[in-house]
Structure 1
Protein backbone atom coordinates (compact mmCIF):
# COMPACT_ATOMS: atom_id res chain seq x y z
CA UNK A 1 0.00 0.00 0.00
CA UNK A 2 1.34 3.43 -0.97
CA UNK A 3 0.43 6.81 0.44
CA UNK A 4 -0.19 9.84 -1.81
CA UNK A 5 -0.34 13.32 -0.25
CA UNK A 6 -0.48 16.87 -1.53
CA UNK A 7 -2.83 19.81 -2.05
CA UNK A 8 -6.18 20.08 -3.81
CA UNK A 9 -6.94 23.66 -4.83
CA UNK A 10 -10.47 24.88 -5.56
CA UNK A 11 -10.85 26.25 -9.12
CA UNK A 12 -14.65 26.71 -9.33
CA UNK A 13 -17.85 26.00 -7.39
CA UNK A 14 -21.37 26.30 -8.86
CA UNK A 15 -24.13 25.43 -6.37
CA UNK A 16 -27.85 25.31 -7.24
CA UNK A 17 -30.83 24.71 -4.93
CA UNK A 18 -32.87 21.57 -5.67
CA UNK A 19 -35.48 21.84 -2.89
CA UNK A 20 -36.20 23.52 0.44
CA UNK A 21 -38.59 22.78 3.33
CA UNK A 22 -38.76 24.31 6.81
CA UNK A 23 -35.24 25.76 6.76
CA UNK A 24 -33.66 22.63 5.34
CA UNK A 25 -32.51 22.40 1.76
CA UNK A 26 -30.93 20.10 -0.81
CA UNK A 27 -28.46 21.50 -3.34
CA UNK A 28 -26.35 20.26 -6.24
CA UNK A 29 -22.78 21.52 -6.70
CA UNK A 30 -20.50 21.27 -9.74
CA UNK A 31 -16.90 21.74 -8.58
CA UNK A 32 -13.45 21.77 -10.18
CA UNK A 33 -10.13 21.22 -8.41
CA UNK A 34 -6.47 21.05 -9.35
CA UNK A 35 -4.16 18.57 -7.61
CA UNK A 36 -0.47 18.94 -6.81
CA UNK A 37 1.88 16.66 -4.93
CA UNK A 38 1.84 12.89 -5.37
CA UNK A 39 -1.36 13.31 -7.43
CA UNK A 40 -0.96 15.80 -10.29
CA UNK A 41 -4.02 16.66 -12.34
CA UNK A 42 -7.53 18.05 -12.54
CA UNK A 43 -10.68 16.91 -10.76
CA UNK A 44 -14.31 17.41 -11.83
CA UNK A 45 -16.86 16.70 -9.13
CA UNK A 46 -20.59 16.72 -8.36
CA UNK A 47 -21.93 16.94 -4.80
CA UNK A 48 -25.49 16.56 -3.57
CA UNK A 49 -25.70 18.42 -0.26
CA UNK A 50 -28.29 18.48 2.54
CA UNK A 51 -28.28 21.61 4.74
CA UNK A 52 -29.92 21.21 8.15
CA UNK A 53 -31.62 24.10 9.98
CA UNK A 54 -28.63 24.17 12.42
CA UNK A 55 -26.37 25.00 9.41
CA UNK A 56 -24.55 21.65 9.46
CA UNK A 57 -24.37 19.83 6.13
CA UNK A 58 -24.12 16.24 4.91
CA UNK A 59 -22.92 15.60 1.36
CA UNK A 60 -22.07 12.83 -1.06
CA UNK A 61 -20.49 12.96 -4.48
CA UNK A 62 -18.31 11.59 -7.22
CA UNK A 63 -15.10 13.12 -8.58
CA UNK A 64 -13.18 12.10 -11.67
CA UNK A 65 -9.48 12.97 -11.54
CA UNK A 66 -7.42 12.99 -14.73
CA UNK A 67 -3.65 13.14 -14.40
CA UNK A 68 -1.12 10.98 -12.64
CA UNK A 69 -0.26 9.30 -9.36
CA UNK A 70 3.50 9.08 -9.10
CA UNK A 71 4.76 7.99 -12.51
CA UNK A 72 1.43 6.41 -13.63
CA UNK A 73 -1.05 8.41 -15.71
CA UNK A 74 -4.74 8.02 -16.49
CA UNK A 75 -7.96 8.81 -14.67
CA UNK A 76 -9.98 7.44 -11.74
CA UNK A 77 -13.13 8.24 -9.77
CA UNK A 78 -13.42 8.93 -6.05
CA UNK A 79 -16.66 8.50 -4.09
CA UNK A 80 -16.93 11.24 -1.41
CA UNK A 81 -18.87 11.25 1.86
CA UNK A 82 -18.65 14.27 4.13
CA UNK A 83 -19.95 16.43 6.94
CA UNK A 84 -19.63 20.19 7.38
CA UNK A 85 -19.98 21.45 10.95
CA UNK A 86 -18.87 24.90 11.94
CA UNK A 87 -16.12 25.95 9.56
CA UNK A 88 -14.63 22.51 8.77
CA UNK A 89 -15.68 19.93 6.20
CA UNK A 90 -14.38 16.42 6.91
CA UNK A 91 -14.42 14.18 3.82
CA UNK A 92 -13.64 10.51 3.39
CA UNK A 93 -13.24 9.03 -0.05
CA UNK A 94 -12.74 5.68 -1.73
CA UNK A 95 -11.65 4.81 -5.25
CA UNK A 96 -14.66 3.52 -7.19
CA UNK A 97 -13.82 -0.09 -8.22
CA UNK A 98 -13.15 -0.41 -11.95
CA UNK A 99 -12.85 3.36 -12.50
CA UNK A 100 -9.10 3.51 -13.23
CA UNK A 101 -8.00 4.06 -16.83
CA UNK A 102 -4.64 3.94 -18.61
CA UNK A 103 -1.79 3.18 -16.22
CA UNK A 104 -4.19 3.71 -13.28
CA UNK A 105 -6.25 0.61 -14.23
CA UNK A 106 -6.74 -1.55 -11.14
CA UNK A 107 -6.34 1.37 -8.69
CA UNK A 108 -7.86 0.76 -5.25
CA UNK A 109 -7.71 2.88 -2.13
CA UNK A 110 -9.22 5.29 0.35
CA UNK A 111 -8.37 8.48 2.19
CA UNK A 112 -9.74 11.98 2.47
CA UNK A 113 -9.15 15.52 3.65
CA UNK A 114 -10.37 18.26 5.97
CA UNK A 115 -11.15 21.66 4.41
CA UNK A 116 -11.85 24.88 6.31
CA UNK A 117 -13.43 28.16 5.23
CA UNK A 118 -10.16 29.91 6.14
CA UNK A 119 -8.35 27.85 3.48
CA UNK A 120 -10.86 28.92 0.80
CA UNK A 121 -11.81 25.35 -0.15
CA UNK A 122 -8.18 24.23 -0.51
CA UNK A 123 -7.03 21.21 1.50
CA UNK A 124 -4.22 18.75 2.14
CA UNK A 125 -5.35 15.34 0.86
CA UNK A 126 -4.33 11.73 1.58
CA UNK A 127 -4.94 8.67 -0.60
CA UNK A 128 -3.73 5.27 0.61
CA UNK A 129 -3.69 3.20 -2.57
CA UNK A 130 -2.60 0.05 -4.35
CA UNK A 131 -3.07 -1.61 -7.71
CA UNK A 132 -5.01 -4.87 -7.99
Structure 2
Protein backbone atom coordinates (compact mmCIF):
# COMPACT_ATOMS: atom_id res chain seq x y z
CA UNK A 1 0.00 0.00 0.00
CA UNK A 2 1.38 3.43 -1.00
CA UNK A 3 0.58 6.29 1.36
CA UNK A 4 1.46 9.99 1.63
CA UNK A 5 1.83 11.40 5.16
CA UNK A 6 1.80 15.01 6.36
CA UNK A 7 2.24 14.41 10.07
CA UNK A 8 2.71 17.19 12.63
CA UNK A 9 4.92 16.59 15.63
CA UNK A 10 5.92 18.34 18.82
CA UNK A 11 9.55 18.48 19.82
CA UNK A 12 9.43 17.39 23.47
CA UNK A 13 13.18 17.23 24.16
CA UNK A 14 16.18 18.83 22.45
CA UNK A 15 19.13 18.50 24.83
CA UNK A 16 22.33 19.57 23.11
CA UNK A 17 25.91 19.17 24.27
CA UNK A 18 28.46 21.34 22.50
CA UNK A 19 31.60 19.61 21.32
CA UNK A 20 34.93 21.08 22.46
CA UNK A 21 35.81 24.34 20.73
CA UNK A 22 37.78 23.76 17.53
CA UNK A 23 41.45 24.80 17.40
CA UNK A 24 40.69 26.82 14.26
CA UNK A 25 38.72 29.93 15.35
CA UNK A 26 37.00 30.08 11.93
CA UNK A 27 35.65 26.51 12.19
CA UNK A 28 31.91 26.28 12.94
CA UNK A 29 30.84 24.76 16.26
CA UNK A 30 29.37 21.26 16.40
CA UNK A 31 27.08 19.59 18.94
CA UNK A 32 25.40 16.31 19.83
CA UNK A 33 21.70 16.27 20.68
CA UNK A 34 19.31 13.88 22.42
CA UNK A 35 15.77 14.36 21.13
CA UNK A 36 12.21 13.18 21.79
CA UNK A 37 9.08 13.87 19.74
CA UNK A 38 5.35 13.16 19.74
CA UNK A 39 3.65 12.53 16.37
CA UNK A 40 -0.06 13.45 16.16
CA UNK A 41 -1.17 12.99 12.57
CA UNK A 42 -4.19 11.32 11.04
CA UNK A 43 -2.10 8.45 9.63
CA UNK A 44 0.82 8.38 12.12
CA UNK A 45 0.60 8.65 15.90
CA UNK A 46 3.34 7.78 18.33
CA UNK A 47 6.51 8.86 20.03
CA UNK A 48 10.14 9.01 19.02
CA UNK A 49 13.54 9.14 20.67
CA UNK A 50 16.82 9.70 18.92
CA UNK A 51 20.03 11.62 18.38
CA UNK A 52 21.24 14.40 16.10
CA UNK A 53 24.57 15.93 15.16
CA UNK A 54 24.60 19.64 14.34
CA UNK A 55 26.87 22.28 12.85
CA UNK A 56 25.90 25.92 13.03
CA UNK A 57 28.28 28.60 11.81
CA UNK A 58 28.07 32.08 10.35
CA UNK A 59 28.24 30.76 6.76
CA UNK A 60 26.20 27.57 7.02
CA UNK A 61 24.36 25.05 9.14
CA UNK A 62 23.57 21.35 8.95
CA UNK A 63 22.13 18.47 10.96
CA UNK A 64 21.77 14.72 10.61
CA UNK A 65 19.53 12.66 12.89
CA UNK A 66 18.12 9.21 13.52
CA UNK A 67 15.02 8.61 15.58
CA UNK A 68 13.08 5.47 16.44
CA UNK A 69 9.36 6.08 16.00
CA UNK A 70 7.04 3.74 17.88
CA UNK A 71 3.30 3.88 17.31
CA UNK A 72 0.59 3.34 14.73
CA UNK A 73 0.94 4.02 11.00
CA UNK A 74 -2.17 3.59 8.86
CA UNK A 75 -3.70 1.35 11.54
CA UNK A 76 -0.58 -0.85 11.87
CA UNK A 77 1.47 -0.92 15.06
CA UNK A 78 5.22 -1.23 15.34
CA UNK A 79 8.33 0.88 15.08
CA UNK A 80 10.84 2.08 12.51
CA UNK A 81 13.93 4.27 12.35
CA UNK A 82 13.72 7.54 10.47
CA UNK A 83 16.97 9.10 9.29
CA UNK A 84 16.83 12.76 8.25
CA UNK A 85 18.89 15.86 7.73
CA UNK A 86 19.21 19.30 6.23
CA UNK A 87 21.98 21.65 5.20
CA UNK A 88 22.21 25.24 4.06
CA UNK A 89 25.00 27.67 3.46
CA UNK A 90 26.50 30.43 1.40
CA UNK A 91 26.25 29.75 -2.31
CA UNK A 92 24.48 26.40 -1.92
CA UNK A 93 20.79 25.53 -2.15
CA UNK A 94 19.08 24.28 1.00
CA UNK A 95 18.84 20.49 1.01
CA UNK A 96 16.37 18.50 3.16
CA UNK A 97 15.75 14.75 3.19
CA UNK A 98 14.28 11.93 5.24
CA UNK A 99 14.12 8.18 4.74
CA UNK A 100 13.04 5.09 6.58
CA UNK A 101 16.16 3.05 7.40
CA UNK A 102 15.93 -0.14 5.35
CA UNK A 103 15.06 -3.18 7.47
CA UNK A 104 14.24 -1.11 10.58
CA UNK A 105 10.48 -1.76 10.64
CA UNK A 106 9.11 -4.01 13.39
CA UNK A 107 5.75 -5.59 14.16
CA UNK A 108 3.13 -4.75 11.55
CA UNK A 109 5.56 -2.19 10.05
CA UNK A 110 8.11 -4.81 9.01
CA UNK A 111 9.21 -4.08 5.44
CA UNK A 112 8.22 -0.40 5.59
CA UNK A 113 9.96 1.87 3.07
CA UNK A 114 9.71 5.62 2.64
CA UNK A 115 11.28 8.96 1.74
CA UNK A 116 10.42 12.58 2.41
CA UNK A 117 11.44 15.60 4.50
CA UNK A 118 11.23 16.91 8.05
CA UNK A 119 10.65 20.68 8.26
CA UNK A 120 8.86 23.15 10.53
CA UNK A 121 7.45 20.48 12.89
CA UNK A 122 5.96 18.49 10.02
CA UNK A 123 7.03 15.08 8.71
CA UNK A 124 6.15 14.70 5.03
CA UNK A 125 6.73 11.11 3.99
CA UNK A 126 5.77 8.88 1.07
CA UNK A 127 5.71 5.30 2.35
CA UNK A 128 5.18 1.84 0.99
CA UNK A 129 3.62 -0.65 3.41
CA UNK A 130 3.90 -4.32 2.50
CA UNK A 131 0.63 -6.15 1.82
Common fold: TM-score over 0.5: yes
Question: Cα RMSD (Å) of the superposition?
Answer: 1.8
Q: Distance in 2 between matches of 1:72 and 1:96?
A: 18
SS at match of 1:103: helix
TM-aligned CA distance change 1:90 to 1:15, over 3 Å:
farther
8 Å CA contact 1:4–1:69 kept in 2: the answer is no
1:28 counterpart (24, 32, 50): 32
Preserved contact between residue 81 and residue 100 of structure 2 (Cα < 8 Å): yes
SS in structure 2 of the partner of residue 20 of structure 1: coil
Shift of 1:125: 1.8
Select 2:105's aligned residue among 100, 114, 118. 100
Number of residue pairs matched? 121
Shift of residue 68 of structure 1? 1.0
- Aligned residue for 1:106, secondary structure, equals coil
Deviation at 1:20, TM superposition (A): 2.3
What residue in structure 1 maps to residue 82 of structure 2?
A: 78
Higher CA-based Rg: 2
**Deviating 4+ runs (over 6 angstroms):** none
- CA offset at residue 51 of structure 1? 1.8
C-alpha displacement of 1:53: 3.1
State how far apart, in whole Å, the 2-side matches of 1:7 and 1:53 are. Answer: 29
Give yes or no for contact 1:90–1:114 (8 Å, CA) kept in 2.
Answer: no
Q: TM-score, normalised by structure 1?
A: 0.83
Q: TM-score, normalised by structure 2?
A: 0.83
Cα contact 2:5–2:125 (8 A) shared by 1: yes
The gaps in structure 2 that reach 5 residues or longer are none
Unaligned regions of 5+ residues in structure 1, if any? 116-122
